[in-house]
Amino acid sequence: MTAHAKCAKKFLADEPRADWHDETLWLVRTKRDRAAAAVDEWEALREQASQIKEEALANLNGLLKQFEAEATKNGAKVLWATDAEEFNRIILDIIRQHKAMNVVKSKSMLTEECGMNAFLLKAGIEVVDTDLGERIIQFRHEMPSHIVLPAIHLKKEEIGATFHEKLGTAAGASDPVYLTHAARLHLRRKFLAAEVAMTGVNFAVAETGSVVVCTNEGNADMGVQAAPVQIHCMGIEKIIPRQRDLGVFTRLLARNATGQAVTTYTSHYMRPKPQGAMYIVIVDNGRFKHLTQRSYASSLKCIRCGGCLNTCPVFRRSGGHSYGYVIPGPIGSILAPERSRAGGIDLPFASSLCGSCSNVCPVKIDIHEQLYRWRQDLTLQRRTSFVKRVAMCVAGFVLSSNARYNFAGALGRFAVKYLPRFLLYLPLNVWGKARELPVPPRESFKQWYKRSHNQ
């Protein structure tokens, strides 16, 4: 059994919760459908967004240089990090240079990818995550289970218990309004005390050297505008060429993520505040190498809306933590084999290949086709499990000969009909672990066809 399948089994053991997870994300998906259907030119927007991202990735070096030049002109300091270690080191240096002790951070999957919180904690700096969902899982020492809804795996009673312990809310209280208000008061104090505020980046505009951050909660701005030092962290693929392109992406992002017409706040940071400092850290961490993998490079177009997670039948029924990679769901499953240090090579198999992910993707990444390609490549590179490889060899042997195929079919029908249950469902039969074998037909299709057409 592979890692994803094992973890998914654990997730599914709590059936009411698994059902709730499934239904809730499906509701988000239906909201997304309504929002998309309300825009007549939706498909044209997706095509435009896809082309802009392709253009950006094709000219990445030039655009990054242009971005650096413009941002520097605006008064921001632009720094470059090759990998996670260098990135974390740069952030720590900035924090130390400004003698900061209080650091707040709005959502950034990049800092999750690079393990920044843990790194800074070792150096004595406790970063406070300010997105409500992120703060909840930070209190609980968990990873986000969804890139847009980080605490979607939790029930309000669990969050209530966590807040009771950490924030002193009333025991047993689980009302979302009450809990959100408690978090608001707690995080206001953190915002006002912060010397450094970090954010992720949704879009970086090469033409103007500005970064754009989208939030509903307003936590990016409460941090950035309160702290003297602001740091924006971005992967190289966040670049878009022109200011005008923002029109396309801001129309797609929130609609595809949550079904909102736009996020509450779409913030554009161009210059530091008076007497403030502004840093933009641009991180590679395997992205340039990923770009050279031609069949997989287009996964770098992703704008992290989470649409493919919400629609995926496997994600909805297995939960984000089952994936074991920082970006879960279909998009994570095509990133992980290239970028995850832990491997993630079972993830392309954690899919039904139904193609729904590709259909909802706002930048038209061929996600399910890449999942299929990864399966083939991983098998050819002998990176899949031994059992799977042997099974593939046997299947190849059987399917490549007419006689062997006919014989195997007859044998199968015989076996399912007459063998005792314990033999049929031996541990070797992975397929039968959660499923019943079908009732075998009397004859094969070929036999039936010959019989019924030769009369």
Partner 1 sequence: MQIMKSEPKYRHFIENLRAAGGEIVEIAAHTGSIAALFPDAIDFTQETVRDQFSASTSLEDLDKLECVIFEGSFGVAENGAVWLEDKDLPHRILPFITQHLVLRLDSANIVSTMEEAYDRIRLSETGFGVFISGPSKTADIEQSLVYGAHGAVRETVVCYNPSNLSSKG
Going by C-alpha positions, the residue among 398, 436, 437, 392 that lies closest to residue 416 is 437
Single residue of 44, 170, 192, 410 touching partner 1 by CB under 8 A: 192
Single residue of 68, 129, 221, 284 touching partner 1 by CB under 8 A: 221
- Least CB distance from residue 150 to partner 1, whole Å? 7
- Least CB distance from residue 17 to partner 1, whole Å? 11
Distance between the two ends of the chain, CA-based, in angstroms? Answer: 48
Going by C-alpha positions, the residue among 270, 245, 231 that lies closest to residue 67 is 270
Q: Which of residues 121-180 bind partner 1 (CB under 8 A)?
A: 130-133, 136, 149-152, 154-156, 159, 176-177, 179-180
Single residue of 30, 72, 97, 264 touching partner 1 by CB under 8 A: 264
Crossing angle of helices 60-74 and 42-58, in 10° steps, is 90
Q: Label the pairing between strands 210-215 and 265-269.
A: antiparallel
Rounded CA gap, 230 and 279, in Å?
6
C-beta closer to partner 1: residue 243 or 447: 243
The amino acid sitting at 71 is A
Total residues in contact with partner 1, by rule CB under 8 A: 68
The answer to whether 288 contacts partner 1 (rule: CB under 8 A) is: no
Q: Label the pairing between strands 277-283 and 127-129.
A: unpaired
Half-sphere exposure of 270 (CA within 13 A, CB side): 7
The answer to whether 250 contacts partner 1 (rule: CB under 8 A) is: yes
Rounded CA gap, 329 and 326, in Å?
10
C-beta closer to partner 1: residue 221 or 237: 221
- Least CB distance from residue 404 to partner 1, whole Å? 53
| CA triple 307-309-311, angle to 5 deg | 70
Single residue of 68, 113, 217, 377 touching partner 1 by CB under 8 A: 217
Q: Are 376 and 410 in contact (CB under 8 A)?
A: no
* Residues 37-56: x where in contact with partner 1 by CB under 8 A, - otherwise, as a string: -xxxx---------------
Return the residue matching tokens 């060429």.
241
- Least CB distance from residue 202 to partner 1, whole Å? 12
Q: Applying CB under 8 A, which residues contact partner 1?
A: 24, 27-28, 38-41, 70, 74, 130-133, 136, 149-152, 154-156, 159, 176-177, 179-181, 183-184, 187-188, 191-192, 205, 208, 210, 216-219, 221-222, 225-226, 243-244, 246-248, 250-251, 258, 260-275
